[in-house]
Structure formats: structure tokens, C-alpha cells
């Protein structure tokens, strides 16, 4: 981590006075309580069926892949283009993950890249500690994460993104109720499906993705850049379908891959590449070997790699449009 993050006493007073988000606090408290109390109790008294755990696994994969492939690599950094059908699928499964709309998620993430580790401008600055970067940043109306969409003007032109943003709450609630309900009626285990594939899947999805904001800035290696707190962590890559190669990502945010070696666990990279064979994804951007060598020779004092111009967000001179492993 940066050795000496700059904190200002006056700004700290205002920062700590930020109003609590009781709606968010209630959502996290409620889903966590149901999952951690309801699931063990149900298992103790009734046991579990294989269908519930299969549904949990399938929905967990779908939600986490939607976040890394859609919210992150497609919309935040524009590391590839996708057919409308792929965009719709990622938009819907992203809503099922219940991590806010694409527009808000991307706005926060672009701000994170533009001001990484700044305690007043990075929405989930790791320099404020594990709790803040993991969850705390969402529980108050902090000035570092304003409802300001000036950095996502490009996405405001995309109908799929704006439709999801407009109807996000009923869409997210409807999917998180309707999908477990439908599966429960189909397999004859409604309550079990709600507990396992609904609530438990939701908190596992949340905390594994939140680990990228927290643990991926605390534990791991920094082979690509020592100028910010982002780190490569194989365990986190396993949990998040490739997002754990976070030091590489901050060094080369315009690359559709996070794990660049063929043996790196990055299912998102493989899915994007696989879909390109059918024309469902295209314009896959990668960092060139020359840029890799330049980046490894220097330590970068600031991320600064996600430019503000909407036409080139997440794309800079370090990337090309050739596909790679």
C-alpha cells in the first residue's frame, strides 16, 4: 500500500459526517441474517437437496461472470464489443447479482481507476483499510462516491444500459424473487431454493466480488506496478473468475484479459474469446508485449490509465485489437 496516504483533518471531519444509507445497511443486514441463520437451520431440520446446490452454483457463476465480463470488462473499460444478445444477458444477470445498475457501478469503478488510493476521490480506497474498501464505502453517502454520471456519458447513449438503470430496482428485486421462486416450484423445494440459491448465493456473490476492492489491494504480488495498492492474488482469481490478477489489471485496464498467461485462471477471458469465434464478441483489446516490458521496468506513481474522454474510456496506447490467449 502507499506508505503515506494524505489525510486532511478538516476533510476527515466532513467525511465522517456522511449520512448513513439505512436502505443499504438494511439490505446487507437482512440478507446476511437470513443466509447465516436460515440456511443452517433448514439444513439441520430438513437437509438439503442436490437441486438447490446445483442452482446455487449455476446462479453464482452467472452472477459473478456478469460482473467481471459485463459490468467490468465490457462496460467499464470497453475492452471488447459484444452482440446485443450478449449485452442483454449480462445486463439481466448483472441485475441478479444485486450490485447496483451498470451506470452507477461503472461510474464508481472509473472514478476508482482515475483516483486509485486517494482517500477522498477513490470510492473504495484501500488506503482507508479493509472494512471501508470491502463494504464500508457503500453504507454512507460519502463524497468520494457521488451520484454523478459525468464520467459515463458514453453509456448514457446505450439503450440497454439506460433501460436497466431506469428499472433497476423492480428488475433486481423481481429477478432475485422470481428466479428462486420459479426454480423452487419446478423442483418442489421453494423455501430451500430461496435460502440456498437466493439468499446464500447472494451474499457469496457479494463478498467474493467485494474482495477485489479490499483483499486484492492488500494481499498479493505486484509484478506490474508498485505505484498503487492493486495486487495479483491467485486465490481471489479462483473466487472471481479471473479478477484476482488485479495488479496487471491496474497496469493494463484496456486489456480484456486479467490473467494473461494461458495457465492463468481467467474464465472471463476464455468466455470472451470463445464467443468471438461465433461473432458474439469482437474487437478484443490486449496489451502488447512491448508495453508489458516497459511497464515492468518502471514503477508508476499513479494509475492514471483510464482517460476521461468517453470515446476512449479504458483504452489507451497500451492496447491493440488483436485477440490473444
For residue 271, give every residue at least 6 positions away whose Cβ sits within 8 Å of its Cβ, in sequence order, or none: 65, 69
**What pLDDT digit, counting tens, does each position of 279-309 carry?**
999 999 998 765 555 455 455 444 433 333 3
211 sits in which H/E element: helix 201-213
Give tens-digit pLDDT for 77-122: 999 999 999 999 999 999 999 999 999 999 999 999 999 999 999 9
Cell 496506447 -> residue? 317
- Widest Cα–Cα separation across the chain: 60
202 and 193 Cβ atoms separated by less than 8 Å: no
Query: For residue 204, what pLDDT is reported?
Result: 98
pTM reported for the whole predicted model? 0.88
pLDDT tens, residue by residue, 161-207: 999 999 999 999 999 999 999 999 999 999 999 999 999 999 999 99
Question: What digits encode the pLDDT tens for the residues 212-257?
Answer: 999 999 999 999 999 999 999 999 999 999 999 999 999 999 999 9
DSSP 127: G
Contact criterion met (CB below 8 Å) for 301 and 227? yes
Q: What is the DSSP letter of 36?
A: I
Q: Are β-strands 286-287 and 281-282 bridged in parallel, bridged antiparallel, or unpaired?
A: unpaired
At residue 4, the pLDDT reads 61
In this prediction, residue 320 carries a pLDDT of 52
In b/e form, how buried is each residue of 128-160, taking b as 16+ CB within 10 angstroms? bebebbbbebbbbebebbeeeeebbebbeebeb
The residue-averaged pLDDT of 42-57 equals 97
**pLDDT on residue 292:** 55
The DSSP 8-state label assigned to residue 226 in this structure reads S
* Rounded-to-integer distance, Cα 214 and Cα 111, Å: 16
Amino acid at each position: 500500500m502507499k506508505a503515506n496516504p494524505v489525510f486532511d483533518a478538516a476533510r476527515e471531519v466532513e467525511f465522517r459526517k456522511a449520512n448513513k444509507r439505512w436502505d443499504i445497511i438494511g439490505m446487507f443486514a437482512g440478507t446476511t441474517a437470513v443466509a447465516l441463520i436460515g440456511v443452517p437451520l433448514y439444513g439441520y431440520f430438513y437437509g438439503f437437496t442436490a437441486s438447490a446446490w446445483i442452482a446455487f452454483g449455476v446462479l453464482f457463476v452467472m452472477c459473478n461472470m456478469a460482473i467481471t465480463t459485463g459490468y467490468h470488462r465490457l462496460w467499464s473499460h470497453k475492452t471488447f464489443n459484444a452482440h446485443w444478445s450478449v449485452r442483454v444477458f449480462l445486463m439481466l444477470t448483472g441485475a441478479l447479482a444485486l450490485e447496483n445498475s451498470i451506470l452507477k457501478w461503472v461510474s464508481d469503478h472509473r472514478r476508482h481507476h482515475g483516483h486509485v488510493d486517494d482517500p477522498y476521490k477513490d470510492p473504495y480506497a484501500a488506503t482507508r483499510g479493509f472494512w471501508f474498501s470491502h463494504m464500508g464505502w457503500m453504507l454512507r453517502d460519502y463524497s468520494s462516491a457521488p451520484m454523478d454520471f459525468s464520467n459515463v456519458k458514453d453509456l448514457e447513449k446505450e439503450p440497454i444500459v439506460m433501460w436497466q438503470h431506469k428499472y433497476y430496482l423492480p428488475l433486481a428485486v423481481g429477478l432475485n424473487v422470481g428466479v428462486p421462486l420459479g426454480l423452487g416450484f419446478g423442483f418442489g423445494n421453494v423455501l430451500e431454493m430461496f435460502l440456498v440459491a437466493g439468499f446464500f448465493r447472494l451474499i457469496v456473490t457479494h463478498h467474493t466480488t467485494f474482495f477485489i476492492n479490499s483483499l486484492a489491494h492488500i494481499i498479493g504480488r505486484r509484478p506490474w506496478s508498485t505505484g498503487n495498492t492493486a495486487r495479483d492474488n491467485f486465490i481471489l482469481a479462483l473466487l472471481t473468475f479471473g479478477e484476482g490478477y488485479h495488479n496487471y489489471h491496474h497496469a493494463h485496464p484496456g486489456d480484456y484479459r486479467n490473467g494473461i498467461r494461458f495457465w492463468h485462471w481467467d474464465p472471463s477471458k476464455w468466455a470472451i474469446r470463445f464467443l468471438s469465434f461465433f461473432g458474439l464478441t469482437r474487437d478484443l483489446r490486449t496489451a502488447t508485449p512491448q508495453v508489458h516490458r516497459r511497464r515492468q521496468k518502471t514503477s508508476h506513481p499513479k494509475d492514471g490509465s483510464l482517460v476521461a474522454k468517453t470515446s476512449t474510456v479504458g483504452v489507451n496506447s497500451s492496447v491493440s485489437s488483436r485477440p490473444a490467449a
